[in-house]
Amino acid sequence: MSDDPSTEVHDHGRVHDHTEVHDHGGGGWGDLLVGKVVAAGVAGAPGVAGVAGRVTVAVARHAPRGRLAIVGLGPGARDLMTPRAVAELRRASVVVGLDQYVDQVRDLLRPGTRILASGLGQEEERARAAVDEARAGHAVALVGSGDAGVYAMASPALEEADGTIDVVGVPGVTAGLAAAAVLGAPLGHDHVYLSLSDLHTPWPVIEKRVRAAAEGDLVVLFYNPRSRARHWQLEAALKTLAGHRPPATPVGVVRNASRPDESALLSTLADVDPAVVDMYGLVVVGSSQTRVVAGRMVTPRGYRWREGS
Ligand SMILES: C[S@@+](CC[C@H](N)C(=O)[O-])C[C@H]1O[C@@H](n2cnc3c(N)ncnc32)[C@H](O)[C@@H]1O
């Protein structure tokens, strides 16, 4: 501390010299509200430095610390969106997301909320934009369908984010859970989510994982199962599973779970036609233990569950 009251003043970030503000919160520099004032005061009091009788005071507002909420919107139906997701959307001053997901929640946003919507294939740009907006001090909601951490935006965003912002994850009901509920109880025992999209993962890696799931007798949920450009992968994956489980193994296909045009069908590994599946669907393949009971797909809770109870 200097004897010259105009050169240095400590305390939690109020003044540093006469134009700067200390950054004690990791939130960046603030706006100077009241410039240097030299006045009478008591040396050692908070916000005050200098010799007794002369003090320098200035007041600044800290830049607000930004907040990034990564919000899962659920599979489609409004009543499958959690109250916490709704609260985060109402709190946000900036909403970032794929245009079709943002459209789904526009009516929940406060007037004046800034919307940064973009199209498919711009995931990295969206993640960066959300983090940049939070770093600038805004309350940002980065939205995704289902759970935003499942084949979605949470990981690219958190790869960009550093310790200068607060991050809150709001879990959502995944498409897998919504589809399973439509089919019955196919997830009663061990299961695995596998994406058949080879846009970001080489096919040999996917194939190896499908083989491992087949050998492990896991119920399999195929995400991104088929599109116009990726039309052969589902058939190949089903063939691998068929090499390890009976032809009568139940297979469920659910399209647009919880949306107005939801549809579902039950088939078997021997009979299922991959051509009925598109990118709006999810395919659930039972394990060797999965059965159809009264038209519902059921995977028993355990191999010895009934014996033990
Ligand atoms: C990029 S992933 C997004 C997954 C999402 N984050 C989740 O937690 O469910 C997109 C894929 O999820 C599946 N999907 C998403 N919503 C669905 C729904 N309502 N019904 C059936 N499948 C859905 C489809 O396989 C689609 O190709």
Question: pLDDT by residue (tens digit) across 258-293?
Answer: 999 999 999 999 999 999 999 999 999 999 999 999
Specify the pLDDT at position 78.
97
Q: Which residues of 131-164 are buried (b: 16+ CB within 10 A; e: fewer)?
A: bbbbbebbbbbbbbbbbbbbbbbbebbbebbeeb
Triad 146, 151, 154: Cα angle to 5°: 80
Residue of the CA atom closest to atom 26 of ligand 1: 224
pLDDT score of 203 more than 50: yes
Question: Closest by alpha carbon to 210, among 283, 154, 289?
Answer: 283
Query: What share of the chain has pLDDT > 90, as a percent?
Result: 73
Pocket test of ligand 1: the residue of 150, 280, 284 to mutate, having most ligand atoms within 8 Å of its CB, is 280
Q: Domain residues of the chain, as ranges? A: 1-63, 67-173, 176-298
pLDDT score of 36 more than 70: yes
- Residue 258 Cβ inside 6 Å of ligand 1? The answer reads yes
Pocket test of ligand 1: the residue of 143, 145, 199 to mutate, having most ligand atoms within 8 Å of its CB, is 145
Specify the pLDDT at position 61.
75
Region 126-145 average pLDDT: 97
Pocket test of ligand 1: the residue of 80, 282, 283, 285 to mutate, having most ligand atoms within 8 Å of its CB, is 282
Distance of CA 190 from the midpoint of ligand 1 (Å):
20
pLDDT band at 38 (very low <50, low <70, confident <90, very high): confident
pLDDT band at 305 (very low <50, low <70, confident <90, very high): low
Pocket test of ligand 1: the residue of 147, 151, 194 to mutate, having most ligand atoms within 8 Å of its CB, is 151
Residue of the CA atom closest to atom 5 of ligand 1: 146
Region 116-128 average pLDDT: 91
- Residue 252 Cβ inside 6 Å of ligand 1? The answer reads no
What's the length of the chain? Answer: 309
Average pLDDT value over all residues in the chain? 88
Residue of the CA atom closest to atom 22 of ligand 1: 281
Specify the pLDDT at position 11.
42
Ramachandran area for residue 47 (φ above 0: left; ψ -120 to 50: alpha; else beta): left
**Topology of the domain comprising 67-173:** Cobalt-precorrin-4 Transmethylase; domain 1 (3.40.1010)
Specify the pLDDT at position 29.
54
- Residue 290 Cβ inside 6 Å of ligand 1? The answer reads no
- Residue 144 Cβ inside 6 Å of ligand 1? The answer reads yes
Predicted TM-score (pTM) of the model is: 0.83
pLDDT band at 17 (very low <50, low <70, confident <90, very high): very low
- Residue 151 Cβ inside 6 Å of ligand 1? The answer reads yes
Q: State which ligand 1 atom lies nearest to the alpha carbon of 254.
A: 21
Domain 67-173 shares a fold with domain 176-298: no
DSSP per residue over 45-87, as a string? STT--SSTT-EEEEEEEPPPPPEEEEEE-BSS-GGGS-HHHHH
Specify the pLDDT at position 302.
79
8 Å CB contact between 237 and 198 = no
8 Å CB contact between 250 and 258 = no
Residue of the CA atom closest to atom 15 of ligand 1: 175
Q: State which ligand 1 atom lies nearest to the alpha carbon of 279.
A: 27
Distance of CA 146 from the midpoint of ligand 1 (Å):
7
> Per mean pLDDT, which range of 38-47, 131-140, 243-252 is the poorest?
38-47
CATH class of the region 176-298: alpha beta
